[in-house]
Amino acid sequence: MEVLKVSSKTDVRRLGRALYHALKENGGEAVLQAMGAGAISQAVKGVAVARGLAAPEGADLKVVPGLTRVTVDGAERKAMQLRVFWR
């Protein structure tokens, strides 16, 4: 399963296209990982773009939010994970 890391400066359209392609190539499952409100906002918008790309194929996306722990500069922090599934 592919993990796409998202920052507050991530381009939403590029993220949406990357998510769409990751879903098609990886058996219909991908994960977006974001830390901070700005990054989470970009991740959600990226899902919306990917959903628009999937719609003409008659597909929809399902998103399951969750939290995970990550290590950044030696410190443990929480990050939001959005597990995205092709339906």
Mean pLDDT, to the nearest integer, of 9-19? 97
Domain count across the chain: 1
Tell how far CA 54 is from the center of its chain.
14
Residue 2, pLDDT > 80, answer no
Q: Assign residue 55 the CATH number of its domain.
A: 3.30.110.20
The predicted-structure confidence for 23-79, as pLDDT tens digits, reads as follows 999 889 999 999 999 999 999 999 999 999 999 999 999 999 999 999 888 999 999
Rounded to the nearest 5 percent, the helix, strand and coil shares of the chain are 40, 40, 20
Residue 66 pLDDT = 97
Range of the domain at 22: 2-86
The label of the residue with tokens 């918008």 reads 45
Residue 82 pLDDT = 97
Residue 54 pLDDT = 94
pTM to 2 decimal places = 0.91
> Using CA atoms, how far apart are residues 57 and 66, in angstroms rounded to an integer?
28
